[in-house]
Amino acid sequence: MSTTTNPIHIIGGGLAGSEAAWQLSHRGIPAIIHEMRPLVRTEAHQTGHLAELVCSNSFRSDDKENNAVGLLHEEMRRCNSLILKCGDLHKVPAGGALAVDRDNFSKEVESAISDNPLITIERDEVKEIPFNSWDSVIIATGPLTTPSLTSFISNLTGEENLAFFDAIAPILYKETVNFSRAWFQSRYDKPGPAGDVAAYINCPLNKLAYEKFINELLAANKIEFRSWEKNTPYFESCLPIEVMAERGPETLRFGPMKPVGLTDPNRSEKPYAVVQLRQDNAQGTLYNMVGFQTKLTYGEQKRIFRMIPGLETAEFARLGGIHRNTFINSPALLDSLLRLKAQPRLRFAGQLTGVEGYVESAAIGLLAGRFIAAEKMARSPIPPPNTTALGALLQHVTTVGGSKSFQPMNINFGLFPQLDTKVPRRQRKPELSRRALEDLQIWIKSSM
Query: Each residue of 384-425: pLDDT tens digit?
Result: 999 999 999 999 899 854 455 576 778 988 889 889 888 898
Calculate ∠ Cα 69-99-235, nearest 5°.
55
Task: Quickly state the pLDDT bin for 253 (edges 50, 70, 90).
Answer: very high
Q: Which helix (H) or strand (E) holds 73?
A: helix 68-78
DSSP annotation of 204 reads E
More reliable by pLDDT, 294 or 32: 32
From the list 356, 415, 435, 386, the residue with the least C-alpha distance to 65 is 435
* CB-side neighbour CA atoms (13 Å) of 142: 29
326-369, pLDDT tens digit by residue?
788 888 889 999 999 989 999 999 988 988 889 999 999 999 99
How far is residue 422's CA from residue 417's CA, in Å, rounded to a whole number?
Answer: 13
- Contact between 399 and 429 (Cβ < 8 Å): no
Weakest mean pLDDT among 6-20, 54-68, 81-95, 230-244: 230-244
Stated as kind and residue range, the H or E segment containing 32 is strand 31-34
Q: What is the DSSP letter of 138?
A: E
Which among 4, 21, 5, 328 is positioned nearest to 135, based on CA atoms? 5
pLDDT for 402: 46
Which of helix, strand or coil describes residue 342? coil
Is 104 in a helix, a strand, or coil?
helix
Name the pLDDT band for 144 (thresholds 50, 70, 90). confident
| pLDDT tens digits along 163-178 | 666 667 898 999 999 9
pLDDT of residue 156: 83
Kindly state the helix (H) or strand (E) to which residue 195 belongs, with its residue range.
none
43 and 58 in contact (C-beta within 8 Å)? no
Evaluate if residue 289 carries a pLDDT over 90.
yes
What is residue 44's predicted lDDT score, i.e. its pLDDT?
63
Give the neighbor-by-neighbor strand order of the sheet with 97-100. 58-61, 97-100, 91-92
Strands (E), 76-214: 91-92, 97-100, 119-122, 137-139, 162-168, 171-173, 183-184, 200-205
CB 56 within 8 A of CB 182: no
What is the pLDDT averaged over residues 79-98?
Answer: 95
- Return the pLDDT at 11: 96
Comparing 37 with 370, the larger pLDDT belongs to: 370
pLDDT in tens, 109-133: 999 999 999 999 999 999 889 888 8
CA distances, 37 to each of 29, 369, 390, 410 (Å): 24, 22, 29, 27
Mean of per-residue pLDDT scores for the chain: 88
Please give the pLDDT value at position 401: 45
Band of residue 225 on the pLDDT scale cut at 50, 70, 90: low
Judge contact between 322 and 240, C-beta under 8 A.
yes
H helices of 278-419, in order, are: 298-305, 330-333, 358-376, 389-398
Residues 167 and 288 sit within 8 Å (Cβ to Cβ): no
DSSP H or E stretch at residue 278: strand 273-279
- CA dist 345 → 131, 328, 404 (Å): 9, 17, 25
Check residue 400 and give its pLDDT.
59
